[in-house]
């Protein structure tokens, strides 16, 4: 599958997710749940911002910006990384994927909690465990002070704040993985 087809499929998938968000928002609006309506509105706004930023980054290769007369540069990444550094980068990519999956599962559980009943709290606990393991893997590679690491682990247990913590750590991991030559998409990094 070529790159343009992948981008079109990703945009279509994101549009489907947004349509689902708006359908849920409409249902909540008709039921009169004001607090839930406000919370879902925040989630939708965050999703829209995230999607627009992701699409802008992915579309950069279609619209070259800069000097058109500049000599072309090579996209080949030098393979002079040591095995230990490659292992750390793989650990970072795995941790980032766990964080992304935890966030996605968290949103799915929140939206489907009325339908799944007692299974919801168990899935939220699984979400928390995935985010703890992912955060541990990512922070073991990234250079952070021990106090910051402890504070981030404590904030994982605070609802809604944990999403912002995971988004921030995901952004740091994405920046590092792109610097290492990985392609980072919606569901994590790939070489």
72-78: which pairs have CB atoms within 8 A and are 24 or more residues apart?
A: 77/180, 77/181
Q: Which two tokens stand for residue 79?
A: 């393979």
Q: How many whole angstroms separate alpha carbon 13 and alpha carbon 79?
A: 34
Classify 183 as helix, strand or coil: strand
In this prediction, residue 138 carries a pLDDT of: 92
Q: What does the pLDDT look like over 46-72, one tens digit per residue?
A: 666 566 556 555 555 554 556 666 676
What mean pLDDT, rounded, does the chain reach? 76
Q: What does the pLDDT look like over 30-47, one tens digit per residue?
A: 666 555 555 656 666 666
160: nearest Cα among 74, 46, 54, 81? 46
Residue ranges of the chain with per-residue pLDDT less than 50: 63, 78
In this prediction, residue 121 carries a pLDDT of: 83
In this prediction, residue 133 carries a pLDDT of: 92
> Phi-psi bin for 74: left (phi > 0), alpha (psi -120 to 50), beta?
beta
**pTM, to two decimals:** 0.56
In this prediction, residue 13 carries a pLDDT of: 60
In this prediction, residue 29 carries a pLDDT of: 61
């Amino acid at each position: 599958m070529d790159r343009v087809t992948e981008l079109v499929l990703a945009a279509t998938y994101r549009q489907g997710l947004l349509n689902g968000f708006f359908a849920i928002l409409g249902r909540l609006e008709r039921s009169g749940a004001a607090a839930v309506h406000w919370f879902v509105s925040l989630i939708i706004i965050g999703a829209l911002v995230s999607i627009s930023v992701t699409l802008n980054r992915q579309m950069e290769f279609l619209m070259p910006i800069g000097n058109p007369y500049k000599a072309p540069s090579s996209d080949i990444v030098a393979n002079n990384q040591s095995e230990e550094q490659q292992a750390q980068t793989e650990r970072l990519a795995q941790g980032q994927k766990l964080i992304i999956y935890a966030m996605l599962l968290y949103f799915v559980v929140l939206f489907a909690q009325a339908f799944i009943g007692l299974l919801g709290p168990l899935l939220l606990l699984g979400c928390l465990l995935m985010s703890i393991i992912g955060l541990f893997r990512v922070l073991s590679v990234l250079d952070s002070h021990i106090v910051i690491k402890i504070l981030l682990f404590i904030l994982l247990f605070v609802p809604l704040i944990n999403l912002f913590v995971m988004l921030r750590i995901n952004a740091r991991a994405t920046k590092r993985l792109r610097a290492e030559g990985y392609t980072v998409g919606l569901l994590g990094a790939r070489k």
